[in-house]
Amino acid sequence: MSTPTHHGPSRGRPANAIPTPQAPPPDILRCASMELVVTDLAASRKFYAEVLGLVVTEEDESTIYLRSFEEFIHHNLVLRQGPVAAVAAFSYRVRSPEELDNAVAFYEELGCRVERRPEGFVKGIGDTVRVEDPLGFPYEFFYDVEHVERLAWRYDLYTPGALVRIDHFNQVTPDVPRAVAYAQDLGFRVTEDIRDEEGTVYAAWMRRKPTVHDTAMTGGDGPRMHHVAFATHEKHNIIAICDKLGALRMSNHIERGPGRHGVSNAFYLYLRDPDGHRVEIYTQDYYTGDPDNPIVTWDVHDNQRRDWWGNPVVPSWYTEASPVLDLDGNPQPLVARTDDSEMAVTIGADGFSYTREGHEGEGHDLPSWKQGEYKLGNQL
């Protein structure tokens, strides 16, 4: 059976779910921008603007606003100089100015700290709501935004690895089903997830725009930011980024990949920026906009779930992530995951994982090239 199991869209709501507010959630269009606090603005500018080629819309001595080539809003990434590398905002665009009222009501009913600034928190964006959400993440909602030139046709400016869109966020949180229930209340729909036979959920992908995700929930000590992802047009663009990092002797910024995801079916690359913030480069997932879009559930023991080619996931990818800030700019304390960790269950005491049922444990009697698992050996 080469393809993952397709389940229907409904799952039971967990017993410890955050109560669903009576207030309607804000109508979110898409993930739109992330605000990163960086400790060396010049180093970060070099990484994002010179190496990755994101376009600087505007900048001053403390802050840089960047966007991707197909974007028409002011920015998709804000780099702000600060004392500790962290994430200050996961920013979503909503469908209309009125949706900010909904955001305020929704989060106030949840008992969250909510701050609304009609003048915005950052340049280029007007009326904005920021909240400390029930999972501890700094979520931002806005509609008013400065329009800038969509550079889609400006092939004179493209680099071989041009980033054309912001695609998604990925958040680390200890209790994935609880996080999913909250995100569904906020209007997100699950497209894929990773589970085991006992029902433990290791990660889930959720979308507003009709791609595989606008954000994902990854099980681990949280709240932390796992990565922010930008899209290229084609796979060779991602390879070009690797080649350029090699030429600049910055290959240590390549953490994992490139490869093909099982989940999402996209081609991917994970980088670490000068502060260790993780950035994914991503291309070619699929349309998910129908209400009955089939959810794809992957077995945590399927060795192709994270990399379709079975290439191993480096431990740092599982264990490291960025702190997130509260609305005062202080790092949020972490809550430890109590469910099984994906890394622990997929890499056993003998250092081997398995791709197919029944293969577990037989690896040692086989020559390496006959083991479905040999590539994962000795990862820990």
Site for a copy of itself in 285-304 (CB under 8 A): 286-287, 289-294, 303-304
* Count of residues touching a copy of itself (by CB under 8 A): 89
Q: Interface residues for a copy of itself in 93-122 (CB under 8 A)?
A: 93, 95-96
Closer CB to a copy of itself, residue 251 or residue 330?
251
Mask for 118-147, x = binds a copy of itself (CB under 8 A): -----------------------------x
Contact with a copy of itself (CB under 8 A) among 11, 74, 165, 195: 165
Tell which one of 56, 105, 152, 327 touches a copy of itself (CB under 8 A).
152
Smallest gap from Cβ 255 to a copy of itself, in A, equals 7
For residue 61, state whether it binds a copy of itself (rule: CB under 8 A): no
Residue 90 or residue 352: which is nearer to a copy of itself going by CB?
352
Nearer Cβ to a copy of itself (177/264)? 264
CB of 297 to a copy of itself, least distance (A): 13
Shortest Å, Cβ 253 to a copy of itself: 7
- Judged by CB under 8 A, the residue of 159, 334, 335, 341 near a copy of itself is 159
Q: Are 97 and 107 in contact (CB under 8 A)?
A: no
Closest residue by Cα to residue 91 from 111, 69, 55, 65: 65
Nearer to a copy of itself, 116 or 235 (CB): 235
The β-bridge partners of 299 are 195
Residue 36 CB-density burial (10 A; 0-12 exposed, 13-18 middle, 19+ buried): buried
Contacting residue, 40, 98, 109, 149, with a copy of itself by CB under 8 A: 149
**69 CB-near residues (< 8 Å, 6+ apart):** 55, 151, 152, 154, 157, 158, 162, 163, 164
Q: Which of 186, 187, 114, 99 is nearest to 144 (CA)?
A: 99
Q: Exposed, middle or buried: residue 342 (CB in 10 Å: 0-12, 13-18, 19+)? A: buried
Instruction: Rank residues 112 and 239 by Cβ distance to a copy of itself and give the closer one.
Output: 239
Q: Are strands 189-195 and 224-231 parallel, antiparallel or unpaired?
A: unpaired
Measured from the CB atom, is 175 or 280 closer to a copy of itself? 280
Contact with a copy of itself (CB under 8 A): which of 60, 83, 155, 338? 155
- Give the residue, chosen from 39, 200, 284, 341, that forms a contact with a copy of itself under the rule CB under 8 A: 284
Residue type, 21: P
- The b-or-e profile of 175-190 (16+ CB within 10 A means b, else e) is bbbbbbbbbbbbbbbb
Largest CA-CA distance found in the chain, in angstroms, rounded: 66
Q: Two tokens at 196?
A: 């085991």
CB of 34: closest distance to a copy of itself in angstroms? 17
**Cβ proximity to a copy of itself, 35 vs 373, nearer residue:** 373
**Residue 379 neighbours by CB under 8 Å, 6+ apart:** 312, 313, 314, 315, 347, 351
Q: What are phi and psi of 291, to 5 degrees?
A: -60, -30
For tokens 């490291």, the residue is 320
Which residues, numbered 222-281, are part of the site for a copy of itself (CB under 8 A)? Answer: 233-236, 239-240, 242-249, 251-255, 258, 260, 262, 265, 267, 272, 276
Among 100-108, 156-164, 195-203, 337-345, the segment contacting a copy of itself (CB under 8 A): 156-164
Where in 310-369 is the site for a copy of itself (CB under 8 A)? 310-311, 314-316, 320, 355-356, 367-369
Q: Is 372 in the site for a copy of itself (CB under 8 A)?
A: yes
Q: Where are the alpha helices (DSSP H) in the chain?
A: 41-45, 99-109, 176-185, 235-247, 315-319, 342-346
Q: Any contact of residue 158 with a copy of itself (CB under 8 A)? A: yes
C-alpha span between 272 and 215 (Å, rounded): 19
Of residues 21-40, which lie at the interface with a copy of itself (CB under 8 A)? 29-30
